[in-house]
């Protein structure tokens, strides 16, 4: 497995593979890899000849006072996990390599898709994500890029960017990977103390019960949102950032559940903010 720190060298390497007609898959990550990331790598291996995994804790997608400094990092462990999955290359640039001191170009998807949910609670977050992903796509030249459905809004925003700006690649969405007890895998789970880890199970439980209510015939989005909140609030340490239901394609508001919907949660346990979601089709 090759490890690249410099943009020029990985870009040349990827160009060479493209010239040889190889299909490149990119798995963008911020490291501290877990089973969810490894599933993205496996899916990429199934679809592509060459799999590149980027590891970069992207400063521009963190707001002031967020967890950029304390975001977990373990490069040695990440690379040994990726060796085992037969990834072909890791791209792990420094922040200085990615953002030159006079950096001043941004890629921003505007509208409801970026102003709701995490866009409302984390202003500027998606601008950081789309900018870094546009850079990663230009550097690694992937045919396919793999993203987890856990970050449902992120995937929607990135797909919009690809369409609007005619990026010559496709995104493959990979389903959420959960721990045995239902907690969605996240690099931030290690930041939970034992009690918060236990209480965090309420996210998946709330989504499951709300889905069951919809399947049993409830069509009123407002009532489902109340149900989600009631269940989450039964955990004393849970502090809801949002518990929302929107159209699954464009995050439009809905009153009646009469199409595919996204139920999306963001809940804080102390300083740790977790997200989870579920797509439901009626």
Q: Is 186 in the site for ligand PAF (CB under 6 A)?
A: no
- The residue within the footprint of ligand PAF, chosen from 43, 78, 151, 244 (CB under 6 A), is 151
Q: Is 30 in the site for ligand PAF (CB under 6 A)?
A: yes
- The residue within the footprint of ligand PAF, chosen from 10, 14, 51, 132 (CB under 6 A), is 132
Interstrand relation of 261-269 and 272-280 (parallel, antiparallel or unpaired): antiparallel
Site for ligand PAF in 58-77 (CB under 6 A): 58, 61
Q: How far is CA 193 from CA 38, 77, 171, 231, in A?
A: 24, 22, 35, 21
Q: Is 29 in the site for ligand PAF (CB under 6 A)?
A: yes
Tabulate helix, strand, coil % of the chain (nearest 5). 45, 20, 35
- The residue within the footprint of ligand PAF, chosen from 4, 14, 28, 79 (CB under 6 A), is 28
Catalytic (active site) residue 47: no
Q: Is 25 in the site for ligand PAF (CB under 6 A)?
A: no
Q: Is 79 in the site for ligand PAF (CB under 6 A)?
A: no
Name the β-bridge partners of 253: 246
Query: Is the torsion defined by CA of 226, 176, 262, 252 positive or negative?
Result: positive
Are the C-beta atoms of 186 and 150 separated by less than 8 Å?
yes
Min CB(57)–ligand PAF separation in Å: 8
# of chain residues touching ligand PAF (CB under 6 A): 10
Query: Two tokens at 241?
Result: 């950032």
- 3-class state of residue 26 by DSSP: strand
Note the residues at the interface with ligand PAF (CB under 6 A): 28-30, 58, 61, 129, 132-133, 151, 154
């Amino acid at each position: 497995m090759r490890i690249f720190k410099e943009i020029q060298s990985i870009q040349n390497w990827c160009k060479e593979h493209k010239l040889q007609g190889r299909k490149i898959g990119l798995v963008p990550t911020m490291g501290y890899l877990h089973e969810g990331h490894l599933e993205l790598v496996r899916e990429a291996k199934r679809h592509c000849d060459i799999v590149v995994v980027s590891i970069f804790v992207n400063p521009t997608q963190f707001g002031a006072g967020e967890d950029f400094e304390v975001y977990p990092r373990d490069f040695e462990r990440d690379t040994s996990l990726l060796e085992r999955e037969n990834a072909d290359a890791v791209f792990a640039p420094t922040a200085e390599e990615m953002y030159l001191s006079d950096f001043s170009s941004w890629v921003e998807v505007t509208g409801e898709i970026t102003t709701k949910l995490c866009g409302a609670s984390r202003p500027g977050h998606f601008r950081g994500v789309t900018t870094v992903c546009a850079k990663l796509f230009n550097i690694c030249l992937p045919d396919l890029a793999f993203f987890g459905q856990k970050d449902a809004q992120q995937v929607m925003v990135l797909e919009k960017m690809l369409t609007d700006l005619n990026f010559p690649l496709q995104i493959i969405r990979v389903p959420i990977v959960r721990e045995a007890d239902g907690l969605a895998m996240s690099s931030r789970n290690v930041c939970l103390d034992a009690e918060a880890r236990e209480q965090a199970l309420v996210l998946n439980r709330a989504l499951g019960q709300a889905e069951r209510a919809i399947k049993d015939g409830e069509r009123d989005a407002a009532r489902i949102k109340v149900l989600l909140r009631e269940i989450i609030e039964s955990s004393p340490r849970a502090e809801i950032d949002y518990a929302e239901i929107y159209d699954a394609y464009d995050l439009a508001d809905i009153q009646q559940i009469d199409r595919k919907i996204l139920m999306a949660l963001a809940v804080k346990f102390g300083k740790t903010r977790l997200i989870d979601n579920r797509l439901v089709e009626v």
